[in-house]
Amino acid sequence: MIPRNRRALICGVSGQDGAYLAQLLLSKGYEVWGTSRDAQISSFESLHKLKIAAQVKTLSMSLTDFRSVLQVISRVEPDEIYNLAGQSSVGLSFEQPVETFESITLGTINLLESIRFIDPKMRFYNAGSSECFGDTGEDFADENTAFRPRSPYAIAKAAAAWQVGLYRKAYGLYAVTGILFNHESPLRPERFVTKKIVATVCRIAKGSDENLELGNIDIRRDWGWAPEYVDAMWRMLTINEPEDFVIATGEIQSLRDFLETAFGAVDLDWRRHTVINQNLMRPSDPLAIKGMPNKASLLLSWQAKIQGADLVVRLVKAQMEMNNDHVK
């Protein structure tokens, strides 16, 4: 059992996972602090959408600046640190490989070093990614599956995960990586393909004559529900011994299936409104990535409940409700 009145620092609190994690920790009695690169000008839109912005204390922090990281951790003195920051788009990582690598790897090492210097008893969660595995084909990836990254983003995430493992072994830190598979919610920005699909579907359903342009729709992914995945993050810092975990649904669907379900939710045929654009094809994009979350089920008592078509319909319904609220 985790006692109440613990203090958590969420790096990247303005993102999808950061906002849902802040909401979860507040519900458990935590004092929650969150960082963004410039808290003075950040809108923290996701925190406002969840109606928790007033409850989260925010600070500016640059993860690539060791002095900045050291100052924030020294000031907050958290019991738990969650590293959810850094460049988060696979597609963008091909256009900005240096920014991606530095924000993820240097940011992680700065946090680990700060913990080591200030208070090694702090518990540290690092956001990993299923992209580290590359193409799993027909196999399910678990904690023992080798990393074969196929994008600048995946390479950076793999390096960060190895850093965490090293600091855990070499310095005895409670430092873990959650290897999270794709997880979605209404808070996703539209640069992510799932949000792009859902937002476009809802506009077309409202009368827009636009087409949805996509790249490879034959890719297959293990998609889950973000609010469930942040619960797994928290659980990873509650057990006695620090361990890495794969967090996934164990179910895979193609982007084509995602499309069909999303358009079907508003009684439309996806083939009438979708255009394949070769310019949107990514270099070396893994065709299939699916996870095996048995360890999380056994040691964390965690299991995904929302997945497959249910997830897609839920996303479309939430987007339609958001659009109706904007009209009002």
Determine the Cα–Cα distance for residues 76 and 245; give it in Å rounded to an integer. Answer: 27
Catalytic entry in 14, 62, 125, 131: 131
Catalytic entry in 20, 30, 82, 153: 153
Q: State both tokens at 231.
A: 């619960």
Catalytic entry in 129, 130, 151, 185: 129
Q: Annotated catalytic, 129?
A: yes
Q: Annotated catalytic, 131?
A: yes
Q: Annotated catalytic, 27?
A: no
Query: Mind telling me the catalytic residues?
Result: 129, 131, 153
